[in-house]
Amino acid sequence: MTLSVTLTLPIPPSVNGLYRNVAGRGRVKTRKYEAWCSAAGWELEIQRAGQIKGPYEAAITLPPVRGDIDNRAKALLDLLVAHGVTGDDRLCRSLTVKRAGTGSWCLVEVRAVEPLP
């Protein structure tokens, strides 16, 4: 088991742009979200992300982005689950999101924590 994972990933779209309603199909991922999932997934492969089994804390550092920074966290946490870096995102015990630095990438740090009693 890995105790911590640090990743540099493309900035995710805002939660407001992840899904759209399609008649007869319901909610589906937008093209922008699918493109980000693909690009970020490849970055996870290149960076050889480890696995955090059990509860964890996540810290996300974003460059200056428009809109609410908390709207970026959902896509990142869902990506980590989809690629097996973490278990279900309900295992996330703490989440911090901040703006810092410059550039077009975000930093995601995930650290294993002790289970709740």
Domain holding 101: CATH number? 3.30.1330.70
Q: What is the pLDDT of residue 115?
A: 80
Reduced to 3 DSSP states, what percent helix, strand and coil does the chain have, rounded to the nearest 5? 30, 35, 35
Residue 88 inside a domain? The answer is: yes
Query: Measuring CA to CA, which residue among 16, 6, 9 is closest to residue 66?
Result: 16
* Tens digits of residue pLDDT in 5-57: 999 999 999 988 888 988 988 889 999 999 999 999 999 999 998 899 899 99
Residue 18 inside a domain? The answer is: yes
> Looking at the 3D structure of the chain, how many domains does it have?
1
Residue 75 inside a domain? The answer is: yes
The range of the structural domain enclosing residue 81 comes to: 4-112
Q: Give the SS3 label for residue 83.
A: coil
Residue 67 inside a domain? The answer is: yes
What band does 108 get if pLDDT is binned at 50, 70 and 90?
Answer: very high
Q: Between 1 and 97, where is the model more confident?
A: 97
Residue 25 inside a domain? The answer is: yes
What band does 2 get if pLDDT is binned at 50, 70 and 90?
Answer: low
Q: What secondary structure letter does DSSP report for 86?
A: B
Residue 117 inside a domain? The answer is: no
Residue 87 inside a domain? The answer is: yes
